[in-house]
Structure 1
Amino acid sequence: MSDALMLQVTAFADAASGEAAGDLSRPVPTCPDWSLRDLARHLGRVHRRVAATVTSGAERLMRPEDAPDGEPPRARDEVATWLLAGGAAVAAALRDAGPDRLVAGFFGPAPASWWERRMLHETLVHRYDAEVTVGFAPWAGVTPALAADGLAESLGLLDTYGTRQADLAGSGQTIHVHATDEPSCEWLVTRTPSGVEVVAGHTKADVAVRGPAAALFAVLTNRRPPEDTGDGLGSVEVLGDAGVLTDWLRVSAL
Structure 2
Amino acid sequence: MHDQLLLQATAFADAVSAPAAGDDLSAPVATCPDWTVRDLARHLGQVHRRVVMTIDGGAERMVPRDAEIPDGEPPATRDDVATWLLAGASALVARLRAEDQEREVGGFVGPVTIAFWGRRQLHETLVHRLDAELAVGFEPLADVSPELAVDGIAEWYDLLTAYRSTSRRVRGDASIHLHATDTPDGEWLIRRSADGVTITREHVKADVAVRGRAVDLLAAVTGRRTLEGLEVFGDPAVAEDWFRVSALG
Give the TM-score normalised by structure 2.
0.94
Q: Tell me the distance in 2 between the aligned counterparts of 1:52 and 1:28.
A: 28
Match of residue 247 from structure 2: 253
SS of equivalent residue, structure 1 residue 197: strand
Say whether the 8 Å CA contact 1:168–1:252 is kept in structure 2. Answer: yes
Structure 2 counterparts to residues 106-185 of structure 1, below 5 A: 106-163=108-165, 165-170=167-172, 172-185=173-186
The 1:68–1:191 alpha-carbon spacing in structure 2 relative to 1, beyond 3 Å, is farther
d(CA) in 1 for partners of 2:240 and 2:18? 35
Identity across matched positions, percent: 57
CA contact (8 A) 2:18 2:136 kept: no
Asked whether the 8 Å contact 2:31–2:224 carries over to 1, the reply is yes
Structure 1 unaligned segments of length 5 or more: list them: 228-234
- Aligned counterpart, 2:59: 58
Pairing 1:233-248 to 2, within 5 Å after superposition? 235-248=229-242
The Cα RMSD (Å) is 1.4
Structure 2 residue 90 is the aligned partner of structure 1 residue 88 = yes
CA distance in 2, matches of 1:40, 1:57: 27
Alignment of 1:39 with 2:37, yes or no, is no
- Tell me the residue number matched to 2:11: 11
- Size of the aligned set, in residue pairs, is 246
1:15 partner letter: A
Normalising by the residue count of structure 1, what TM-score does the alignment of the two structures yield?
A: 0.92
Q: Matches of residues 175-214 of structure 1 in structure 2 within 5 Å?
A: 175-214=176-215
CA contact (8 A) 1:49 1:68 kept: no
Residue 45 of structure 1 and its aligned partner are, at CA, apart by 1.0
Once the two structures are overlaid, the 10-residue window that deviates more, 243-252 or 25-34, is: 243-252
Q: Shift of residue 19 of structure 1? A: 2.8
Using the TM superposition, give the Cα deviation of residue 164 of structure 1 relative to its aligned residue in structure 2, in angstroms. 6.0
Give structure 1 regions of 4+ aligned residues with deviation exceeding 6 angstroms: none
Secondary structure of the corresponding residue to residue 244 of structure 1: helix
DSSP-derived class of the 1:10 partner: helix
Pick closer, same or farther for the CA change 1:24–1:164 going to 2, 3 Å.
farther
Look up the match of 1:69. 71
- Paired with 2:137 and 2:195, the residues of 1 have a C-alpha distance of 41
Counterpart CA distance in 1 for 2:107 and 2:197 is 20
Structure 2: distance between partners of 1:98 and 1:166: 37
Q: Any conservation in 2 of the 1:47–1:90 contact (CA below 8 Å)?
A: yes
Aligned position for 1:232: none
Structure 2 unaligned spans of 5+? none
Deviations 1:180-218 (A, max 9, x none): 111132111112223221111011111111111011111
1-side partners of 2:166 and 2:62: how far apart?
Answer: 17
Cα distance in 1 for partners of 2:34, 2:79 equals 23
